[in-house]
Amino acid sequence: MSSKVSRWIPRVVIIALVAAATAFVWIKKPWVKGEPELTFSTVNVTKGSIAAQVTAAGTLSARTTVQIGAQVSGKVIELHADFNDQVKKGQILAKLDDALLKGQIDQAQAAYDLAVANEKKAEVALNDASRQYTRQKGLQDQQLVAATTVEGFELTRDTAKAALAAAKASVSQAYANLFQAKTNLSYATIYSPIDGVVLTRSYDIGQTVQSSFSAPTLFTIAEDLSRMQIDTAVAEGDVGRLTDGMKATFAVDAHPGMTFDGIVRQVRNSPTTTSGVVTYDAVIDVDNHEHLLRPGMTANITFVLQKVDNVVKIPNAALRFKPTRDQIQALMARFGGGRGSGQHRGSGSGAGSGGGRDWQRAAAGAPPGGMGPPPDMGGAPGAKKDPDRKMLWKLVDGKPKMVFVKLGLTDGSTTQLTEGEIDAGDQLITEIQGLPTTTRKMGAF
């Protein structure tokens, strides 16, 4: 019995030692067996053109639009133009009933004739009063009549002069009334003031036009639809970036897939405030020789401020990915970038970023040592970071790698790469799922 026990004792000791070693490893590195799986969300780097631009909405209209009204009242008896008709300057568009206007001319003519007759009568009276005064003045010189008698004839003469002046004024007034009546008669015929296209016609034959305090609009004519303009509402935050002569492109819903060109003629200083939002009118000249565009169409305009071609384009989603300090340290532990890793210590070329020291510098917000840390990037304690240099995370062989870059022009969705180890086809990390969450941002201690 004792021999059997002695044979089992070594076995039990060996089993106990193995169990103790396993428990020690499990306690020392609990994450080896239970570490969460990391999932990387990435975007592809492409190459192409980037244009910085400002967008706005506007409405198409003819450069010159004339509203033709009626200056007199009357019933429409003739129409010589309709919608979309091409008209010439001086062409008759419509006629109003002129019977009443002709009657007013007859009345004005009679009043004028009466005023002329009264003027002649006043001239005769003045001539008679002047002769009587001259005769009495001669008798006074001969001391044959009293002075009071002469003064009475002088008063009569002066009164006749005043009456003649009043008669002449009446003639002028009657002539003016006659001229006005004739002018009103001419207004009964509506003429086109310009060459153009009829956009609207507001009255039909038989309708009565009432002209009182304002002239009712009969027609609206656009001078030339081959040359149009767009009045845009540009936000006050963007208006300072626009200049006269700048090129613009726009699209309209009536022609999907088509892009039209225009040139900024003027950025007007007068503001428009709607619900507290301030906008400015940027007027764009448009060539419409194909007559595809119509007045009133809504245009979605893009002002091209600057453009670069054949550049590496960084998706802006990658620029918004900013892991915290704890998350970077978790990546260091996962991919061997920590101090305890002999594989990636110093200047090794590990899959992470190149070395454990680089990972630690990234956790503190400094650039990797391989880039030769400039003084303004945190290479020295207390130094400021380079505001023009950004940190991105590139996925290489399934592992994250830090890359510091400099950026240029942006169009709101992609940004030009001016300096950095990123090429077209690379994958940039936008999110890592499985890392610890924390509110402490990178560089916070």
pLDDT in tens, 383-427: 445 667 888 999 988 888 889 999 998 888 899 999 999 999 999
Architecture per CATH, domain 67-96+188-220, reads as: Beta Barrel (2.40)
pLDDT at 7: 60
pLDDT at 339: 39
CA contacts within 13 A on the Cβ side of 405: 23
Helix (H) or strand (E) segment spanning residue 336: none
The strand pairing partners of 401, in sequence order, are 394
How many Å apart are CA 248 and CA 282, to the nearest integer? Answer: 11
Q: In CATH, which of 2.40.30.170, 3.30.540.10, 2.60.40.10, 3.30.930.10 is domain 53-63+222-308?
A: 2.40.30.170
Residue 438: the pLDDT is 52
How many residues can be counted in the chain?
445
What whole-number distance in Å separates Cα of residue 87 and Cα of residue 80? 10
- Report residue 160: phi and psi, to 5°: -65, -35
* CA 185 – CA 181 distance, rounded (Å): 6
SS3 431: strand
What is the pLDDT at residue 190? 95
Buried b (16+ CB within 10 A) or exposed e, 345-372: beebebebbbbbbbbbbbbebbbbbbbe
- Tens of each residue's pLDDT in the chain, 445 residues: 445 545 656 665 566 555 554 444 443 444 444 566 788 889 999 999 998 888 999 999 999 999 999 999 999 999 999 999 999 999 999 999 999 999 999 999 999 999 999 999 999 999 999 999 888 888 888 888 888 888 898 899 999 999 999 999 999 999 999 999 999 999 999 999 999 999 999 999 999 998 876 788 999 999 989 999 999 999 999 999 899 999 999 999 999 999 999 999 999 999 999 999 999 999 999 999 999 999 999 999 999 888 899 999 999 999 998 888 888 888 877 776 543 333 333 333 344 444 455 555 555 555 544 444 433 333 334 444 566 788 899 998 888 888 999 999 888 889 999 999 999 999 999 988 877 665 444 433 2
Residues 419, 392: Cα–Cα separation, whole Å: 12
What's the confidence (pLDDT) of residue 435?
A: 74
So where are the chain's domains? 33-49+313-433, 53-63+222-308, 67-96+188-220, 98-187
Residue 9: predicted pLDDT = 61
Q: What is the pLDDT of residue 362?
A: 58
Residue 372 is predicted with a pLDDT of 40
* pLDDT of amino acid 371: 41
pTM beyond 0.95: the answer is no
Contact 145, 133 (CB under 8 A): no
Q: DSSP string covering 94-152, please?
A: EEE--HHHHHHHHHHHHHHHHHHHHHHHHHHHHHHHHHHHHHHHHHHHTT-S-HHHHHH
Question: What value, to the nearest 5°, has the Cα angle with vertex 247 and ends 242 and 253?
Answer: 100
Residue 330 CA to residue 343 CA, distance in Å, equals: 17
Q: Give, for 57, the enclosing helix (H) or strand (E).
A: strand 46-62
User: How far is Cα of residue 191 from the mean position of the Cα atoms in its chain?
Assistant: 37
Question: What pLDDT is recorded for position 293?
Answer: 96
